[in-house]
Each structure stands twice: as structure tokens, then as C-alpha cells.
Amino acid sequence: MPEYIAKDEKSRNPLLVDMRSLNIRYRIPVSRIEKFYESLDRGIIMGTKCPVCGSRFFPPQAWCSECGFSGDMEFYPLDTHGHLLTFTRIFAKPKSFSGFGDYTVGIAHLDRENINVLAWIDDAIQKPEVGMEISIKVEKRKEDNATVYFISKP
């Protein structure tokens, strides 16, 4: 057999092991929401508000999907007080998160914004419960040194 043919461990069927491996890293434009990242770096989480119809958006967006306005949306700091709607602890992790320990993801409702935020739940919350009070806080995540927002204790 040529060197690129290998036997599957379980079934013993021959497989051609592709020699052309591919590593993809995307470059995603964020110029229209640059203010979000500038503020995040200062520990503040911004949403956007439509100056015409008042609709609020998180994630922030540079146009209004409700009324169709496409001028300057207003960036404003979110009132991050809210409660936890749901959560899960991820045990089977994807390849690009394989270096992380198990992590807990939740969705929180921000009471005064009527907006939901999906994020990791801070380790300080040891036993998450549906309905518990939370706030959203920006932290440097130790696993990848990334500046990220967490669902945290109020």
C-alpha cells in the first residue's frame, strides 16, 4: 500500500489520509463597531440605540433592523443588572477550545435594557441557578488572556 493509506483503528477499513492539511484563521471587519471594542478595553459594555425609533441592540450594530435607519447609531453603556435565564456546562469541547477546562455558558436578561446577553458564567458563581441576580463584568480571561465580558455576581 502507498504510504498515505492507513487502516481505520476500529473498522480496519483503509482510509486515504489527506496530505493537504488546511489551517484557516478569519479576519473579521469590525470598523462599524470599533467603539464597542474601545469601551470593552476600558471595562464598559456598549450597546447601540436607534435615534429614530429607539430600538436597542446587543450585540451592537451600526444600522437599525427594526425601522431601517442607517445613519449614526448611538453607542451607550448597558445597564448590566439582570437575571440568569439559562445555562449549561460544556464538557465535550471543540478543537479550538481543547486547551480550556470545562466552562459554563449562560444567557442573562438585562432587566432595564430588555436585552439578553450570552457569555461565560464567572467561576465566582459556583452554583448557577435560573432566575438568580447577575451583572455583566469585563475581565481578562486567564485561559487565553482575552478581554471578555462575563456573567458575574451583581
Partner 1 sequence: MIRMSRVGIIGYGISKFGKRTDASMYDLIWEAGSEAIKSSGVDKKDIDYMVVSNMGIFSSEELAAVVAGEVLGIKNAGLHRVEAACASGSSAIASAYDAIRSGRSKIAIAVGIEKMSEVESETAIELIGRAGDFLWEYEFFGLTFPGYYALYATAYLNRYGGREEDLALVSVKNHHYAHLNPIAHFNNEISVEDVMKSRYIASPLKLYDSSPITDGSAAVVLASEDVAKQYTDTPVWIDGIGSNLGTANLSKRSDFLHIEAAREAAAKAYRMAKIDQDKPYKHLDGADVHDCFSIAELMAYEDLGFAERGKALDMIRNDETYIGGKIPVNVDGGLISKGHPIGATGVSMAVEASKQLLRKAENGRQIDVRNGRFLAHNVGGTGHYAYVTIYSI
Query: Is the separation of the CB atoms in 82 and 124 below 8 Å?
Result: no
Radius of gyration in angstroms for the set of CA atoms belonging to the chain, rounded to a whole number: 21
User: Which of positions 55-94 make contact with partner 1 (CB under 8 A)?
Assistant: 59, 85-94
CB of 80 to partner 1, least distance (A): 14
Number of residues in contact with partner 1 under rule CB under 8 A:
35
6 binds, among Zn ion, partner 1, none (CB under 5 to 8 A by kind): none
Collect all residues with Cβ–Cβ distance below 8 Å to 136 and sequence separation of at least 6. Answer: 45, 78, 80, 82, 108, 110, 117, 119, 149, 150, 151, 152
Those residues whose C-beta lies under 8 Å from the C-beta of residue 92, and which sit 6 or more positions away, are none
Report DSSP state, residue 127. Answer: S
Q: Which is nearer to partner 1, 69 or 107 (CB)?
A: 107
List residues binding Zn ion (CB under 5 A). Answer: 50, 52-53, 55, 64, 66-67, 69
Question: Which chain residues interact with partner 1 by CB under 8 A?
Answer: 8, 10-11, 13, 15, 18, 28, 59, 85-98, 100, 103, 105-107, 116-120, 130, 146, 148
